[in-house]
Structure 1
């Protein structure tokens, strides 16, 4: 009996090691915490009724290639992942917003639970006149990123900051979409941050 139990325990241990060893891509996750992203607001308890994302803010992973590819309109903040659909809910425009000043430099910060070979980081912002009570779509975003940071297939450390200038002339509430594109998979990570000018 003891031999059977011991064999079962060893078998379970080997299965766990195999899952961990083959899950390298799945452990490579990250999110923005400056400005505070919607997933971070859920994880730190600032916003309630967030579903599963509160336990794994680093997991908003979807297809890369944005804006020509990537998640469908209306599912961009969740990376097209229905498990995290609460991130796409505009909540009547009531997501807590980080105060920013248009035309000024700002430091964007990412946190990573594991690194991955990276193509680049891109930052998009909604157009003036965007309705904060609506979901984020490609047509609601400026067509070009206001900041692109090439990363040349390097792996980021556990935290990484980029400085860039916020577009001038921005007024009212907006969303900044940060996209972390992975070099050696078909995916990218998405983070929406609500901001107020």
Structure 2
């Protein structure tokens, strides 16, 4: 009887360990943030921007449904990927977010840091239209929904440091936003990063 009880307890311990391992697997899926231009999430982690809430601890976790622009996060919640815990990213803060200076038509290396690379469909970059409403949370109607840069991966796994040479769109002056979308190949999700820029 004692031997059976020991075996039973051992079985429970092994089962608990297996459960812990299996429930931690999704954490290995892709995570990342943009470093060029620096995203709002990264500015929060750096401490450049204060009162950011939870995003300061996990700028790599802005993950929502893929399929943008036909699907994906709701309008007004694009920068947070629709995650309530990251709602601070959707607040325009009266234009107080740091903005990187760009020149229309210049060559630029758009960069990501991936804390957990994963099989990737593509990376796409969108920019706001001239005359967009800078005081309202970002919506599809504010964006040119034709990406100005698309990097197709066809399921390949990128490196941790990703650089995509491209050209900054023309026809812009003043303050704008770039929305970068990293679509994961074999999950239902994508990662969304908003960066503030100035022309």
Measure, in 1, the Cα distance between the counterparts of 2:122 and 2:50.
Answer: 32
Following TM superposition, by how much is the alpha carbon of 1:14 offset from its aligned partner in structure 2, in angstroms? Answer: 4.8
1:25-104 equivalences in 2 (<5 Å)? 27-104=29-106
> Which residue in the other structure is 1:152 paired with?
154
What's the CA shift string for 1:15-47, capped at 9, x where partnerless? Answer: 433333x325x5420110110000000011000
What's the CA shift string for 1:125-144, capped at 9, x where partnerless? Answer: 00011232211100000121
Measure, in 2, the Cα distance between the counterparts of 1:27 and 1:44.
Answer: 23
Residue 23 of structure 1: which of 23, 26, 46 is its match? 26
Measure, in 2, the Cα distance between the counterparts of 1:131 and 1:139.
Answer: 10
Measure, in 1, the Cα distance between the counterparts of 2:191 and 2:162.
Answer: 14
Which ranges in structure 2 are unaligned for 5 or more consecutive residues? 1-5
- Secondary structure, aligned partner of 2:154: strand
1:152-191 equivalences in 2 (<5 Å)? 152-191=154-193
Measure, in 2, the Cα distance between the counterparts of 1:112 and 1:84.
Answer: 19
CA contact under 8 A between 1:118 and 1:180: conserved in structure 2?
A: yes
CA contact under 8 A between 1:124 and 1:141: conserved in structure 2?
A: yes
> Which residue in the other structure is 2:3 paired with?
none
Measure, in 1, the Cα distance between the counterparts of 2:39 and 2:187.
Answer: 23
CA contact under 8 A between 1:27 and 1:113: conserved in structure 2?
A: no
Measure, in 1, the Cα distance between the counterparts of 2:129 and 2:90.
Answer: 17
Query: Quick check: which has more Rg, 1 or 2?
Result: 2
Measure, in 2, the Cα distance between the counterparts of 1:99 and 1:126.
Answer: 15
Question: What's the TM-score, normalizing by structure 2?
Answer: 0.90
Measure, in 1, the Cα distance between the counterparts of 2:183 and 2:22.
Answer: 27
Which ranges in structure 1 are unaligned for 5 or more consecutive residues? none
How many aligned positions are there? 192
Question: What's the TM-score, normalizing by structure 1?
Answer: 0.91
Residue 120 of structure 1: which of 119, 122, 144 is its match? 122
CA contact under 8 A between 1:99 and 1:195: conserved in structure 2?
A: yes
- Secondary structure, aligned partner of 2:146: coil
> Which residue in the other structure is 2:136 paired with?
134
